[in-house]
A = this chain, B = another copy of it.
Amino acid sequence: MILSKTCDHAIRATLYVALHQERNYVPIREISEHLGLSFHFLTKILQVLTQQKIMNSFKGPNGGVSLARPAQTISIKEIVVAIDGKGLFAGCMLGLDTCSDEHPCPLHQQWTVVRDQLEAVFAQTTLAYLADRIRNEGLRLANLDASSLVS
């Protein structure tokens, strides 16, 4: 798997929030129910995004989470790095402890070309862009058999 489950959940949750930006805060309970994943687990994940200043949170009635910055300025790459670290964009494909042009492994040349493209695509893909496409094209944020949840 490219991304950890934790990271998958983080991206889906931030997209859900981006789709509901008109509201002040979106409760985590609502997100977890709409995306079909554990409330407590999602809470832990979003705590990290809050600590990383990607989201804001607010306790108490009418509380929840919101994007800390305009959705146009938050990239998918940023979320991936916040949750999974920069390994995907910097690590060795063969799992060696360093990846560098000076001491490349056999797959270094092949991998870095693809990796740089992946990084560029993720860096320029923002939550705002994806939220627009979700709205306009009906892209799914959950499994098909649970799509009724997404409302």
Contacts and interface: CB of A to CB of B under 8 A. Distances in A.
Size category of the binding interface on chain A: 35 or more
A141 interface: yes
A129 to B, nearest CB: 9
A64 B2 CA distance: 33
Interface stretch (A5-13, A22-30, A47-55, A65-73): A5-13
Q: How many copies does the complex hold?
A: 2
Contact of A87 (B1, B96, B140): B1
B95 A3 contact: yes
Interface in A101-151: 103-108, 110, 113-114, 117-118, 121-122, 125, 130, 133-134, 139-144
A76 B107 contact: yes
B11 A140 contact: no
Interface of A: 1-3, 5, 8, 11-12, 15, 76, 87-88, 91, 93-98, 103-108, 110, 113-114, 117-118, 121-122, 125, 130, 133-134, 139-144
